Amino acid sequence: MNKFGKDQEIFAIGNVKVGGQPGELPTVLIGTIFYEGHKIVKDPMKGDFNKEKAEELIKKQEELSDLTGNPHMTDIVGLSEKAIIKYIDFVADVTDAPFLIDSATMQVKIAALKYVTETGLLGKTVYNSISVYVKEEELTVIKESGLEAAIILAHNPRNVWPEGRIKLLKGDGEEKGLLDRALKEANIRKPLIDVSVLDVPSIGLTVEAIKLVKNTFGLPSGAAPLNAVLEWKRANDYGKIAKKACAAGSLITVQMGGADFIFYGPIKYAEVAFPACAMTDAIIAYRAMRHGIRPKVKSHPLYKIF
């Protein structure tokens, strides 16, 4: 991919910029913490966790971000309102980077959103996510909060092909498009389009969907390919490092398709994600220079890792 035909948006979220043409900005890498089954969590309902280990993981992500030039965010997952508020306080104290509020339960995300609004953290918060299952109540609360940034999950359960994801975002005569609802009903000004991943073979469709999103809307787009690799049980048949190697390969694949941001899975995989993605960003940027596109930041991996 040399250059997308449509002008590409670049959004600033806290101290991170995301979007643009391939080669302009480094890929934003997002690690997930406090997810269900995360061993550092002692009581997921109360939000009790090993603070020393959590800080170590976040600082490692930050250190690798500084070394490579790839910006970072932390996806905070909470199972209860009490837990996610504790997690937000902790992450905001440990790092200045933006974070995402994430939960399978709408009320937990709403509680988190109200909390960041009250505590002055709204400008570095991304809502994860607005999906086809979003409720009117949820959109109303988002709008009233003044939040600008949200993940728009372009998973179309009726049509999993790349074109189906575009249809979900655009809508048709019978249904409003999910993107339009996010912009108008929730007043989102910085939409980040997650085109979704079903399984390892479908990562190719994810790449195609990223290209379609950027060519159609000019918006930052990305996905979470590594989680699919982690669920691929037979990867362990090929050796001790096979899964990590394949995990890195999944990230590189979506980068080469134009991804602006990537959920690289559990935050402990930072040491897999950052070197692989920094190298790929440098390759993309070096090639892009032949086509008149230059990095927009001096901290780009092209200038930092070699």
pLDDT in tens, 40-55: 999 999 999 999 999 9
Residue range 127-152: mean pLDDT, rounded:
97
Q: Given this model, what pLDDT does residue 160 score?
A: 94
Under the banding of pLDDT at 50, 70 and 90, the label for residue 172 is: confident
Kindly tell me if the per-residue pLDDT of 297 is higher than 70: yes
In angstroms, the Cα distances linking 302 to 258, 280, 289, 305 are 16, 9, 11, 6
Kindly tell me if the per-residue pLDDT of 294 is higher than 90: yes
pLDDT in tens, 237-264: 999 999 999 999 999 999 999 999 999 9
The b/e string for 289-306 (b: 16+ C-beta within 10 A; e otherwise) is eeeebebeeebbbbebbe
Q: Given this model, what pLDDT does residue 120 score?
A: 97
159 φ, ψ (degrees, to nearest 5) = -155, 100
Our CA dihedral for 294, 72, 100, 186, rounded to 10 degrees, sits at: -10
Q: Given this model, what pLDDT does residue 1 score?
A: 58
Query: Would you tell me which CATH number, out of the four given (3.40.50.1000, 3.40.50.2300, 3.20.20.20, 3.40.190.10), belongs to the domain 10-291?
Result: 3.20.20.20
Q: Given this model, what pLDDT does residue 174 score?
A: 76
Whole-prediction pTM value? Answer: 0.97
pLDDT in tens, 173-204: 778 999 999 999 999 999 999 999 999 999 99
Average pLDDT, the chain: 97
pLDDT in tens, 269-290: 999 999 999 999 999 999 999 9
Q: Given this model, what pLDDT does residue 175 score?
A: 83
Residue range 56-73: mean pLDDT, rounded:
98
Name the percent of the chain lying above pLDDT 90: 97
Residue range 117-130: mean pLDDT, rounded:
98
In angstroms, the Cα distances linking 75 to 72, 91, 246, 264, 266 are 10, 10, 22, 10, 9
Full DSSP string of the chain: ----SS---EEEETTEEEESSTTTSPPEEEEEES-TT-TTEEETTTTEE-HHHHHHHHHHHHHHHHHH---EEEEEE-SSHHHHHHHHHHHHHH--S-EEEE-SSHHHHHHHHHHHHHTT-GGGEEEEEE-TT--HHHHHHHHHHT--EEEEE---TT--SHHHHHHHHHB-SSSB-HHHHHHHTS--SEEEEE----SSTTHHHHHHHHHHHHHHT---EEE-HHHHHHT-GGGGGG-TTHHHHHHHHHHHHHHHTT-SEEEEEEGGGHHHHHHHHHHHHHHHHHHHGGGT---SSTT-HHHH--
Q: Is the dihedral of CA 164, 168, 169, 171 positive or negative?
A: positive
Name the percent of the chain lying above pLDDT 70: 100
